[in-house]
Structure 1
Amino acid sequence: WQNRPLNQRYCALFLDALFVKVRRDTVGKEAVYIVLGITPEGHREILGFYVGGVESSNGWKEILQDLRNRGVQEVLLGVFDGLTGLEEAFRSIFPKADVQRCVIHKVRSTMNKARKKDQAELSIDLKKVYTSSTYEEAEEVFEMVKKKWKKNYSRELASWEEDLPVLLTFLGYPKEVQQYIYTTNLIERTNKEVRKRLKTMNSLPNIEAAE
């Protein structure tokens, strides 16, 4: 299954990892890298999953290269979270593709650094940015958000400002598909089902069992 030939062209690749407990002498958490692709006809399919080690950009690069070796030649868009080095790894294999950083992951990360009393209001303000109709409108809204919150969250807002181009890539796509590509939710639903099935297991005896 992992070696089957793949389509040459995909509209989008969604990248996400979940973690499972695997025994190798001792029990430890290991990453399961999963790639979901959408064909030009709108068909969704899991292109591959790879078990082992700690999630890293180098691990993703090997996986993306494997997909290319199996036939994937063109990708319009890559959708993933903000793992350090992942964007560079993706672009090294698919240099012509657009990149969409998962907005929901970014919001969660920001909320984790915000004071509890500010979280609800800050979340609403940030939502106004990524629910704008155009990139230009989103930039204007962000300037207002930055002016309002920069005193307390200058570092977090500087990170948003730096990432804004890859957080709002989806606004350049047709409105009919924007709701599907601004986040990794499509693949996270799959991961949620896997976690549900693994919940009753304390650990898996080996890598083969995990696969």
Structure 2
Amino acid sequence: MLKIKEDLKNELQLFKQRELPTSVFALIIDGYHCEVKDNSKVKQATCYIVLGIDLEGKKDIFGIYTFFGKENKADWMKVFEDLITRGLKEVLIVISDDFPGIIDAVKLAYPLADHQLCFVHLQRNVRKHMTKEDASAFNKSLDKIKISSSDFDEAVLKFKELCDEYLAKYPRFYCCNIRKSRVLFCLYEIPRGIKKAYLYHKRR
């Protein structure tokens, strides 16, 4: 049993230290909140998960990092620093939820990368900030925009027109979404065939 445990620890260490490719098409990142036993105490922790997709569409887990406490920008920066140290220098696009500070963290780590916020998380936020009836109508319209828009400018324009309909009732939510419209639809600046494969990213 001790040998098996030691072998697993060695394999995990090799996994954490392995060299990464110099460039990838996409990184899909997310934080999973959990509880971890630390000696005799159980503490709140966040598991930071990074999935890489190369230019041929092959997926690989680049890293799993656990830090005590809630998800935060400083720990995401530690994750990105480790990825860069292990060789990952260039990323075409990063896909994430809308965690506060993540946009700045991505820009600091990979300034040339595009950043796409997850539509699933956007629709969840809509349900949190709007009435049930309004949220249902908004998300149905959002689905139509995703399907029917042919390019970035068209998608952003349609999204603004949709948000304008709800400005009077939800001014704060409106301003937040309008400011982030470029990172909500940046996948539309990528060729349509590639965009289709990654547009509907969902959590595990």
Note if contact 1:35-1:47 (Cα within 8 Å) is conserved in structure 2: yes
User: What letter is aligned with 1:161?
Assistant: I
Contact 2:50/2:61, CA 8 A, preserved across alignment: yes
Q: Structure 2: which amino acid aligns with 1:43?
A: K
Mapping 1:33-182, distance limit 5 Å: 33-53=48-68, 54-131=70-147, 132-182=149-199
With over 3 angstroms needed to count, the CA separation of the structure-2 counterparts of 1:56 and 1:143, relative to structure 1, is closer
1:170-211 CA-partner distances (Å, limit 9, x unpaired) = 0011212223433542xx22xxxxxxxxxxxxxxxxxxxxxx
Alignment of structure 1 residues 177-196 onto 2, 5 Å: 177-182=194-199, 184-185=201-202, 188-189=203-204
Higher relative contact order (CA 8 A, sep 6+): 1
Residue 144 to residue 98, structure 1, CA distance change in 2 (3 Å): closer
Structure 1, unmatched stretches of 5+, are 190-211
Partner of 1:26: 41
Higher deviation after alignment, 56-65 or 120-129 = 120-129
Read off the aligned partner of 1:102 and give its amino acid letter: C
Task: Please state whether the residue corresponding to 2:173 is helix, strand or coil.
Answer: helix
Counterpart secondary structure, 2:167: helix
Matched position secondary structure for 2:170: helix
Moved more, 61-70 or 140-149: 140-149
Number of the residue aligned with 2:12: none
- TM-score, normalised to structure 2, is 0.84
Is the 1:100–1:181 Cα contact (8 Å) retained in structure 2? no
Give, in whole Å, the separation in 1 of the partners of 2:140 and 2:163. 13
Q: How much is the aligned-residue C-alpha RMSD, in angstroms?
A: 1.7
Identity over aligned pairs, percent: 28
| Contact preservation (8 Å) 1:10, 1:39 | yes
Aligned equivalents of 1:122 and 1:42: distance in 2?
32
Measure how far apart 1:48 and its partner are.
0.5
8 Å CA contact 1:19, 1:31 repeated in 2: yes
Distance 1:158 1:105, change over 3 A: same
Deviation of the 1:119 alpha carbon: 2.1
SS at match of 1:2: helix
Q: What TM-score do you get using the length of structure 1 for normalisation?
A: 0.82
Which runs of no fewer than 5 residues in structure 2 stay unpaired? 1-14
